[in-house]
Amino acid sequence: MDPKEIYDYAMGGIALLASGGVSYFSAMALCQISTSWPFRKKISSQEELSKIIEEEAPKLGLDSKKIFGKYDALAEGCFAQKTARGHSVVLKADSWMCTRNAVKHELYHIYRGHCDDKGEPGLLDVLDYNFRREPQAVLYETFGIKI
């Protein structure tokens, strides 16, 4: 094989990999946008968040009494975390992502144990999150599919 053939082969592989990555992230973004504020009712209070957790947690077999919602204007996005009392779902108040589907997404992370990890994430943890854990939660929030 001459160097030109090797170069062409490598460039073809890189182009294929890039188009796959763009397709993957576009599909993820479209799913999350379709389940966010423009198409769904926003959560507007702490009470509403607590009620949604009570309704949605049992659908995953979770005990809603051990999951605490926090509707917080100072939060940095929406996330689930393990706490000393159990788990909590934190939603940034007035965020475009502050919907029932965001709660379902975060509850799925709790259901699968995604927020039980300890320590600083390494490269493999970041890849695992972006290519396994996050797509699982997005599929559940969008279509109700449990993987």
pLDDT digits (tens, 9 = 90+) for 90-100: 988 878 788 89
Q: How many C-beta neighbours within 10 Å does residue 105 have?
A: 25
Spans of all domains in the chain: 35-143
- Looking at the predicted structure, is the pLDDT value of residue 120 above 80? no
pLDDT band at 37 (very low <50, low <70, confident <90, very high): low
- Looking at the predicted structure, is the pLDDT value of residue 141 above 70? yes
φ/ψ of 91, rounded to 5, equals -120, 135
Q: pTM for this structure?
A: 0.82
Mean pLDDT of the region 96-122: 87
Ordered DSSP codes for 81-136: EEETTEEEEEEETT-TT-BHHHHHHHHHHHHTTTT---S---HHHHHHIIIIIHHH
3-state helix, strand, coil in the chain (%, to 5): 60, 15, 30
CA distances from 57 to 17, 24, 27, 49 (A): 38, 28, 26, 12
- Looking at the predicted structure, is the pLDDT value of residue 108 above 90? yes
